[in-house]
Amino acid sequence: MKFRFALLWLAAAAWAQPSLQTAEIANLRLANGQTVASCKIGYRTYGALNADKSNAVLFPTWFTGTSAQLDGWVGADKLADPSHFFIITVDALGNGVSCSPSNTGAALDRLAIADMVESQYRLITEKLGLKRLHAVIGISMGGMQAFEWITSHPEMVRAAVPIVGSPRLSASDILLWSAELKAIEAVERAGGNARDAMPAVRMMHEFALTSPDWLHANRPAAGLDAWLAQLEAGARKGMDPRDYAAQLRAMLGHDVTRRFGGSLEKAGAAVRARVLVAAAEQDHMVNPRPALEMAAAAGFDVLLLKSHCGHLATGCESARLGQAVREFLASVR
């Protein structure tokens, strides 16, 4: 399934990948009430700040993603051009690079999307000395972080592009992510190795990642049995289940309307940024309806991706998406 990974990561980047940098955030207060005495944040930077530091673009990672994997989305013909912007790709909490249950401890088992954004806010303001961002761009869980940014720090963001993300989960999202989480937790409760749950989790994930039409049209040439075996082997060697579960819990708790009495309209009214919502019409992994409803209520710009690639429409329609995002970012003053 090399095509599937190529669609998601677009790994051939025009710019050489910058080295991973780390920043230590002291006494990071989490939404669960605990404090992490020392939280490491991983990030990479592209391009250069202009004289008045007004061209910074923050790009957080998707679910299970790393800043290394965002590299293919940065470039002259990608989402953001380093010749115009100072781009900061940042590893979200719980991804195994930034502070996570696997490298920091159990306090991070119960993460929130708001915790990811708070760590990024402190990185941006305390470590990089920035007072404002030109934009926040995010794909999938990165889009959830973009929605959190524009509602929790409205004064900090000039523009935002949440891509196949959501301001809050729909019932279908909750069903999918809960099933994955319950599979991991059930093995842990039984005293087993949580990695034994990951093949089933991966197969649930793959089913929702695209669409039935896409899966039918892209049947693996090696045969379904070989494909399933490949998925199982990859799942057993992949992300630490503790980190996977922590990011699942963060998404399941995500709802930017909570501080606005559950109202998408009030949440949208609090936003000061110009916003382009990119949604995939056939997305079975992150239902586009909440993002489109908030966009309609708040007057956000919308780009609707219509291919049968589902959540991976970002890759199938990458040229159209990239052009729309670049033009949008250039139009924001």
| pLDDT attached to residue 130 | 98
333 residues of the chain, pLDDT tens digit each: 433 444 444 433 445 899 999 999 999 999 999 999 999 999 999 999 999 999 999 999 999 999 999 999 999 999 999 999 999 999 999 999 999 999 999 999 999 999 999 999 999 999 999 999 999 999 999 999 999 999 999 999 999 999 999 999 999 999 999 999 999 999 999 999 999 999 999 999 999 999 999 999 998 888 889 999 999 999 999 999 999 999 999 999 999 999 999 999 999 999 999 999 999 999 999 999 999 999 999 999 999 999 999 999 999 999 999 999 999 999 998
For 190, other C-beta atoms within 10 Å of its C-beta total 9
For 27, other C-beta atoms within 10 Å of its C-beta total 10
**38: buried, middle or exposed (CB in 10 Å: 19+, 13-18, 0-12)?**
exposed
Q: What is the pTM of this model?
A: 0.94
Cα 220 to Cα 242: distance, rounded to the nearest angstrom: 30
Cα 218 to Cα 181: distance, rounded to the nearest angstrom: 28
CA distances, 233 to each of 65, 69, 228, 248 (Å): 19, 21, 9, 21
Cα 79 to Cα 9: distance, rounded to the nearest angstrom: 12
List the structure tokens of 244.
């996977």
List the structure tokens of 208.
């929702």
243 with 100: CB under 8 angstroms? yes
For 30, other C-beta atoms within 10 Å of its C-beta total 19
Give the pLDDT confidence of 252-267 residue by residue, as tens digits.
999 999 999 999 999 9
Q: What is the 3-state secondary structure (H, E, C) of 166-234?
A: CCECCHHHHHHHHHHHHHHHHHHHCCCCHHHHHHHHHHHHHHHHCCHHHHHHCCCCCCHHHHHHHHHHH
CATH node for 2-172+249-331: 3.40.50.1820
Q: State the DSSP H helix or E strand holding residue 154, giving kind and residue range, or none if neither.
A: none
Residue 156 sits at φ, ψ, to 5 deg, of: -90, -15
Look at residues 245, 289, 284, 261 and name the one whose alpha carbon lies nearest to residue 102.
245
Going by their DSSP bridges, the two strands 56-60 and 35-46 should be labelled as unpaired
134 with 56: CB under 8 angstroms? yes
Place of tokens 């994997």: 69
Q: Mention every residue, 6+ apart, whose C-beta is less than 8 A from residue 249.
A: 109, 110, 111, 181
